Amino acid sequence: MRNAQGRHFQPCQTDFPETLVERPQLHEPIALNSKTISTLLTPLKPIKDGTPIVAIDVSSIRIGETDTGIIYAIRGAIVWNEKRRYRYLRIGPFPFHITEESRRDLPNLFSQQPSVTLSMTPWMTYDAQSWLCSLAERWLQMAVAYSANDSIILWDGSLTAGTPGNPTSVLSQIVKTAGRNSNLVLAFSKVTSIRFLGWKITDLILRQEPPCLLEVEDLPLSISKNVHLLGRMFVAKLAPNGCSFRLDIDRALTREQSIVAVERLLGNELVFQGYPETLRLAHIYSTFTANDVIGLQSFITREYGLRVVTCTNMHRRLFGPFGTGFED
Domains of the chain and any CATH numbers: 2-15+39-321 (3.30.2170)
pLDDT digits (tens, 9 = 90+) for 65-102: 888 889 999 999 999 999 889 999 999 899 999 888 77
Tell me the Cα Rg of the chain: 22
Q: Of the segments 109-123, 176-190, 214-228, which one has the largest average pLDDT value?
A: 176-190
Q: Which of 110-119, 161-170, 204-213 is least confident?
A: 110-119
DSSP code of 239? Answer: S
Q: Which of 21-30, 103-112, 125-134 is least confident?
A: 21-30
Is pLDDT at 37 greater than 80 in this prediction? no
pLDDT digits (tens, 9 = 90+) for 151-199: 999 999 888 887 766 778 888 999 999 999 999 999 999 887 777 777 7
pLDDT digits (tens, 9 = 90+) for 228-277: 788 888 999 999 888 899 999 999 999 999 999 999 999 999 998 899 99
pTM of full prediction above 0.85 = no
pLDDT digits (tens, 9 = 90+) for 95-107: 999 888 777 766 6
pLDDT at res. 222: 64
DSSP code of 52? Answer: -
CA distance 253 to 257: 6
| Better pLDDT: 295 or 192 | 295
Is pLDDT at 145 greater than 70 in this prediction? yes
Sequence-distant (6+) residues with CB within 8 A of 248 are 158, 159, 160, 186, 187, 189, 229, 230, 231, 232, 233, 234
Beta bridge partners of 152: 53, 184
Q: Do the strands 70-82 and 184-189 form a parallel or antiparallel pair, or are they unpaired?
A: unpaired
Cα dihedral 288, 294, 297, 303 sign: negative
Q: What is the mean pLDDT of the chain?
A: 82
Is pLDDT at 291 greater than 60 in this prediction? yes
Percent of the chain's residues with pLDDT above 70: 80
Q: Which of 3-12, 33-42, 177-186 is least confident?
A: 33-42
